């Protein structure tokens, strides 16, 4: 009797389980097919609404051009070569500022992360400089370095410096003491220990700092170019403002968005290779 | 010859170890056993040169130990591998200060001795606990150490893997490492591995007893001689209160 009730219980139970599983799989694959569409529903709807509103002249076109006009503007910029020219000028500033700021931050972050002494010496000063908003440096940079490239690059470098510095320092300071001890067993110290153990172990946090830094570099290049420039995407923003060309302004904004995303993707691709060893969900 | 002469380690007013005198001649494997908190790990860290003694010295073949040395290999309780390095690179870490062109063959040989040649290019996250610990052993062996120190090397492994690793360790160490010192709190492990078992009690850590283990290898845990030595060590490690039941120290 006992055996029979057990059978009677297990058999019907097994069937719904299989059925439920198969159902979930079918729903899963249908879901997967539709999933790529989910993030673009809102932007497509917004673009359609925007085009619609603009075409009906609900808002005057000289303030609010339709997306098609912005795309046409973008096409014009690309065909005339202005896009590449100005984008390249902005990118040069971003890249030089980033390299300068990130290099300084790497040296100082490594130093203060590794050595208590250097942290006591440098970190308080750097932390108090950090409380000055980066943009507030602009007038003094212009006074010292002139209106040309140097002051712009200095501003970008300053913006990049802090996230990279802070992330690297805290990354190094929180490296597992047990790994450092392995380094000590094999008679490593100073630069050797930093290179062989501390930097690789703090790489994930360093990469976070670099990505934040690059995003800030794009932010500050806009600020720098708005302060006065004759080339760069920020200059296109100014030109659009001065000549009353909203399509040009929106096109420049779009270029900034795409350029920022592109450089971040490159950084992530490089980082993914370097962080292949991380035992995290993303690597499973 | 490894000698500990009136070795003392104190942390401020707290004396963790000593004074300790010990001399290790041609015994290949020394087991150091003791309850937790008895100062076993402090002793190992002193021998590794990771801690400096408050007074007294350690001499390795007459040289006074002053810090980590290239002829002392250390295996920790955890594998402590660099997660970003492959098995091969982790082993190579142990001889980073050797000329690059001389490293390859030594690294290959060490990986082969722990039986991980097929996993030489794997990352630590892809290894099981026992395999990772074998990489740790290979890293300690690659420099051809005079003295190999192991701090409860198999404590974190499951019992079956632990027994397999004990056999494995003896085969790996073989005849190439003059002296191996294993810290453990497992009586069976101490008896399977060691030529001499030293019972440490503390704090401050002092040698409560030293037992020569003259059993033939490979050792069977079920032999009466093994059982007798085990009873002896168990007796030594258990503190009997004057009145009733035995209590673990």
User: Furthest-apart CA pair in chain A: how many Å?
Assistant: 96
Residue A158 lies in a domain: yes
Burial label for A229, CB within 10 Å (0-12, 13-18, 19+), is buried
Q: What is the pTM of this model?
A: 0.75
Residue A226 lies in a domain: yes
Residue A46 lies in a domain: no
User: Which chain B residues contact residue A185 at CB under 8 A?
Assistant: 48, 50, 68, 74
Q: Confidence band (pLDDT; 50, 70, 90) for A16?
A: very low
| pLDDT digit string, tens, across residues B14-65 | 888 878 898 888 888 999 998 888 888 889 999 999 999 898 899 999 888 8
Q: Which of the 8 DSSP states describes residue A59?
A: S
Residue A33 lies in a domain: no
Please report, for the domain that includes residue A88, its CATH number: 1.10.3720.10
Q: Are A277 and B70 within 8 A, CB to CB?
A: no
Element (H, E) at B149: strand B147-151
Contact B57, B66 (CB under 8 A): no
Rounded CA separation A101/A220 (Å) = 12
Domain, as residue range, for A100: 76-174+203-273
- Quick one: pLDDT at residue A19? 39
Q: E strands along chain A, which residues?
A: none
The contact set of B with A (CB < 8 A) is 48, 50, 67-70, 74, 76, 78, 80, 82-85, 93-94, 96-97, 123-125
User: Which chain A residues contact residue B78 at CB under 8 A?
Assistant: 178
Three-state DSSP string of B138-172:
HHHHCCCCCEEEEECCCCCCCHHHHHHHHHHHHHH
Residue A119 lies in a domain: yes
User: Which chain A residues contact residue B69 at CB under 8 A?
Assistant: 187
Spell out a b/e string for B126-153, using b for 16 or more CB atoms within 10 Å of the CB, else e. ebeebbbbbbbbbbbbbbebbbbbbbbb
Q: Are A201 and B80 within 8 A, CB to CB?
A: no
Rounded CA separation B109/B95 (Å) = 13
Residue A167 lies in a domain: yes
What ipTM is given for this predicted complex? 0.85
Looking at the 3D structure of chain A, how many domains does it have?
1
Residue A256 lies in a domain: yes
Angle at B243 between CA B242 and CA B245, to 5 degrees: 100
Tokens of B15: 């004396």
A279 touches chain B (CB under 8 A): yes
Sheet holding B196-201, edge to edge: B72-75, B147-151, B179-184, B29-33, B196-201, B206-212
Angle at B210 between CA B206 and CA B215, to 5 degrees: 155
Q: Which residue of B has its CA nearest to A200?
A: B84
Task: Count the Cβ atoms, other than its own, within 10 Å of residue B123.
Answer: 21
* pLDDT tens digit at each of 249 positions of chain B: 888 888 888 888 888 887 889 888 888 899 999 888 888 888 999 999 999 989 889 999 988 888 889 899 999 999 999 999 999 999 999 998 888 888 888 899 889 888 899 999 999 999 988 899 999 999 999 988 999 999 998 888 888 888 888 888 888 887 788 899 999 888 888 898 898 999 988 788 888 888 888 888 778 888 888 888 888 888 888 765 555 555 554
Task: Count the Cβ atoms, other than its own, within 10 Å of residue B121.
Answer: 10
Pairing between strand B63-64 and B55-60?
Answer: antiparallel
Tokens of A132: 């000055």
Q: Confidence band (pLDDT; 50, 70, 90) for A4?
A: very low
Residue A148 lies in a domain: yes
């Amino acid at each position: 009797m006992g055996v029979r009730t057990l059978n009677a219980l297990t058999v019907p139970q097994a069937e719904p389980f299989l059925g439920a599983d198969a159902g979930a799989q079918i729903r899963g694959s249908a879901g997967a097919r539709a999933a790529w569409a989910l993030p673009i529903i809102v932007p497509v709807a917004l673009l359609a609404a925007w085009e619609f509103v603009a075409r009906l002249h609900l808002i005057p076109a000289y303030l609010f051009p339709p997306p098609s006009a912005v795309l046409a503007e973008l096409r014009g910029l690309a065909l005339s070569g202005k896009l590449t020219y100005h984008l390249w000028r902005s990118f040069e500033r971003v890249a030089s500022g980033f390299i300068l700021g990130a290099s300084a931050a790497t040296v100082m972050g490594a130093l203060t992360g590794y050595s208590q002494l250097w942290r006591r010496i440098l970190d308080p000063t750097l932390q108090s400089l950090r409380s000055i908003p980066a943009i507030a440096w602009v007038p003094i940079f212009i006074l010292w370095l002139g209106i040309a490239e140097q002051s712009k690059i200095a501003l970008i470098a300053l913006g990049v410096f802090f996230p990279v510095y802070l992330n690297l320092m805290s990354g190094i300071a929180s490296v597992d003491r047990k790994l450092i001890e392995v380094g000590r067993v094999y008679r490593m110290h100073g630069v050797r220990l930093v290179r062989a153990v501390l930097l690789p172990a703090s790489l994930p946090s360093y990469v976070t700092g670099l990505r934040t830094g690059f995003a800030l570099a794009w932010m500050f290049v806009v600020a720098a170019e708005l302060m006065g420039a004759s080339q760069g995407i920020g200059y296109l923003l100014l030109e659009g403002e001065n000549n009353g060309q909203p399509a040009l302004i929106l096109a420049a904004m779009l270029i900034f968005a795409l350029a920022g995303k592109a450089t971040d993707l490159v950084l992530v691709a490089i980082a993914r290779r370097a962080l292949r060893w991380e035992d995290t969900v993303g690597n499973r | 010859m490894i000698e500990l002469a009136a070795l003392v380690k104190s942390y401020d007013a707290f004396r963790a170890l000593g004074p300790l005198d010990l001399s290790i001649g041609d015994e290949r494997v020394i087991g150091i056993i003791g309850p937790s908190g008895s100062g076993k790990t402090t002793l190992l860290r002193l021998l590794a040169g990771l801690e400096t003694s408050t007074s007294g010295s350690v001499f390795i073949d007459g040289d006074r130990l002053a810090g980590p040395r290239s002829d002392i290999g250390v295996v920790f309780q955890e594998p402590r591998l660099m997660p970003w390095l492959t098995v091969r690179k982790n082993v190579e870490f142990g001889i980073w200060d050797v000329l690059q062109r001389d490293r390859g063959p030594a690294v290959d040989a060490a990986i082969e001795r722990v039986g991980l040649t097929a996993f030489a290019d794997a990352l630590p996250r892809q290894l099981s606990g026992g395999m990772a610990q074998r990489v740790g052993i290979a890293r300690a062996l690659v420099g051809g150490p005079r003295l190999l120190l192991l701090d409860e090397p198999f404590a974190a492994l499951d019992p079956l893997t632990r027994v397999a690793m004990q056999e494995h360790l003896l085969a790996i160490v073989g005849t190439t490492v003059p002296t191996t010192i294993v810290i453990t709190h497992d009586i069976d492990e101490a008896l399977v591995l060691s030529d001499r078992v030293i019972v440490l009690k503390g704090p401050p850590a002092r040698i409560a007893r030293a037992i020569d283990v003259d059993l033939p290898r490979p050792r069977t845990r079920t032999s009466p001689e093994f059982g007798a030595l085990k009873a002896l060590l168990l007796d030594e490690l258990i503190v009997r209160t004057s009145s009733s039941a035995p209590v673990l120290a």
